[in-house]
Structure 1
Amino acid sequence: MQVVTHPGNFHADDVFAIAALRLAVGPLELVRSRDEAVVAAADVRVDVGGRSDPATGDFDHHQRGGAGERPNGIRYASFGLVWRAHGVALAGGDEEAAASIDERLVQGVDANDTGQTIVRSEVGDVRPMTVSGVVAAMNPAWDEELDDAAQDARFAQAVDVAEGILERELAGAAAFGRARRLVRDAIARAQDPRIVELDRNMPWRELVVAGAPGALYVVYPKSDGWGMQAVPVKAGDFANRRDLPAAWAGLSDDALAEATGVPGAMFCHPARFYVSARTREAIMALATLALDGDGA
């Protein structure tokens, strides 16, 4: 399959769009050109051509009026257009996984390319380094003279980096899908809805916060015993539905065992969101104490 995109400086949207296409359809014959005849002859056009139509292999957003926007107002750039066409298939048919990658990765790239600010610094002029910034930094410096072959080689390197990021995102989304099923099963079988017991530690916060409104603690086995974490008020928040008792904060080993009366208690985080123990019996005893106490 021959794919054409523009020459010169590249951006994250065209780089990631090519990477996504390569993952979706396999090896590509890539041409970087604005020659109208070359553009028209290609099987797929990315970021050139002035059309948006996956049926004809067109993934451009530079035409008058753009290529549309998502319900949240973030406009589509070439990466988003390719992802909209191929993302679900790349995610193994999992629409939730494809949507999560769109939210976590694709939309940020599209917003950067279409001139939409979605992040503002709260610390002066400090800005986080984004994948768009990483890709931009792979372009030649302003005073670096490269011939066309060397520029194309830089572009190919950037596509390799983007493909690696996408592969990890897809693997992570698939793993999250597996965790989603296991966590939902654990919520359903919980004898006490306030305690969700997992077979192993896995991503659970979003799922428990959304799907178990009565859950206060999650327990799971770990390499050196058992852990228990407080359920946050919302995913990504540091506030918990119920903190662990203040008397436990920062204690470990004998001191924690003495304070709780539970042999095998190992450690309680000073922030009162995590406690560990050597055995399941011990962690469940700590869970019972945390539920019976006032959390103060």
Structure 2
Amino acid sequence: MIIATHSGKFHADDVWAVAVLELIFPGCTLIRTRDPELIRQADFAVDVGGIWDPQTGRFDHHQKGFAGARQSGVVYASAGLVWRTHGPRCVALIAEIHAGHAITEEQARDMAYAIDADLVQYLDMSDTGAAKNAPGGYGLSAVISGFNPTWLDEQHAGSVEAAEELRQTQFRRGMEFMTDILINAVKYRVGALHAADQVRNAELLENGRLLFLQNSAMPWATIVRNEMPNVLFVLSYSIAEQRYMLHTVPAAQDSFEARKDLPAVWAGLQDAELAAATGVPDAVFCHNGRFIAAARSFEGALQMARLALLD
């Protein structure tokens, strides 16, 4: 299969769109051109060609009269157009191949919608001018733009052909970077999906105020915050660090405010100082922000949890 997109400077929306198609249809030939005949012959035309027709693989948004937009009003660019059509299939493939779990069509659609809301729409907003560098000067759109060769690079290339070959190489580098971001976005959501039941069925201690999880890497905050109003702390084992972690529970999404903080006298202490303050010989550290602490043993972390509940 052949994917055609425009030559010259590339942007995050066309890089994302081509990366998605490459994941679904591996081994495609990528051509970067503005030649109408080459575009016509391609199986997919992304961000070029003046046509939006998913049935024929056409995903451009520059044509006069284009009015494609999300229900939220955010206008589509090529990233969103390709994602709207192929996002769920891409998510399902990544879930199976890279996360090792098959998901249902409904789950794939829900994840694709969430990724659009969290990420893809901002690529479109940047491309259409709705946001300068959504979401910020070092947001993904700006980072991908930085993969373009500079004028010095082009000057050193020595010819138009060499400069375009360099740009093709950089486009591919941008695709690899974008592919990693997409795969990680899906893997995180698949992990959260499969962690939910384990969090719901985890052991409750201290009259339901402490939740114990076998793996600290498991995402738990949303379930605990939304479904477990009595849980004040989460105790878990960090396989990577081989110690037990004591976490506060966020009071709201994207907030550092906790339902209950760790004791103020623990803030910023480590090892012997924290052991003296807590009476727990194997206490390791307490973050200065008082939202996480650690001990080397389960018994030590549990003792710290009990002290925190009493504080």
TM-score interval, smaller chain: 0.7 to 0.9
TM-score (ref. length: structure 2): 0.81
Does structure 2 conserve the Cα–Cα contact (< 8 Å) formed by 1:23 and 1:163?
Answer: no
Aligned to 2:119: 105
TM-score (ref. length: structure 1): 0.85
AA aligned opposite 2:212: E
- Aligned with residue 284 of structure 2, among 263, 266, 272: 266
Using the alignment, how far apart are the partners of 1:69 and 1:275 within structure 2?
A: 46
User: Sequence identity, in percent?
Assistant: 39
Q: Structure 1 pair 213/154, CA: closer, same or farther in 2 (3 Å)?
A: farther
- CA displacement at 1:159 relative to structure 2: 2.8
- CA displacement at 1:65 relative to structure 2: 4.0
Does structure 2 conserve the Cα–Cα contact (< 8 Å) formed by 1:6 and 1:47?
Answer: yes
Q: Structure 1 pair 99/248, CA: closer, same or farther in 2 (3 Å)?
A: same
Per the alignment, in what secondary structure is the counterpart of residue 191 of structure 1? strand
Show structure 2 runs of 5+ residues with no match: 93-102
- CA displacement at 1:244 relative to structure 2: 0.8
Q: Deviations over 1:162-218 (max 9, x none)?
A: 233323431452244224422442233342443222211223334433343333212
Using the alignment, how far apart are the partners of 2:11 and 2:138 within structure 1?
A: 15
Q: Deviations over 1:123-153 (max 9, x none)?
A: xxxx532332233233343474541453144
Aligned to 2:179: 166
Count of residue correspondences: 288
Does structure 2 conserve the Cα–Cα contact (< 8 Å) formed by 1:266 and 1:276?
Answer: yes
Using the alignment, how far apart are the partners of 1:5 and 1:131 within structure 2?
A: 20
AA aligned opposite 2:186: A
Does structure 2 conserve the Cα–Cα contact (< 8 Å) formed by 1:229 and 1:274?
Answer: yes
Superposed, which structure 2 residues align to 1:128-143 within 5 Å? 128-142=137-151
Using the alignment, how far apart are the partners of 1:232 and 1:36 within structure 2?
A: 54
- CA displacement at 1:254 relative to structure 2: 3.7
- CA displacement at 1:107 relative to structure 2: 1.9
Aligned to 1:186: 199
Aligned to 2:310: 292
- CA displacement at 1:261 relative to structure 2: 3.3
Q: Deviations over 1:27-86 (max 9, x none)?
A: 222233333333222221111222222111111111234352223332211011112222
Does structure 2 conserve the Cα–Cα contact (< 8 Å) formed by 1:264 and 1:279?
Answer: yes
Using the alignment, how far apart are the partners of 1:170 and 1:119 within structure 2?
A: 22
Aligned to 1:70: 70
Q: Structure 1 pair 169/265, CA: closer, same or farther in 2 (3 Å)?
A: same
Superposed, which structure 2 residues align to 1:140-219 within 5 Å? 140-142=149-151, 144-145=154-155, 146-148=159-161, 150-192=163-205, 193-202=208-217, 203-219=219-235
Using the alignment, how far apart are the partners of 1:11 and 1:120 within structure 2?
A: 12
Does structure 2 conserve the Cα–Cα contact (< 8 Å) formed by 1:10 and 1:155?
Answer: no
Show structure 1 runs of 5+ residues with no match: 122-126
Aligned to 2:266: 248
- CA displacement at 1:118 relative to structure 2: 7.5
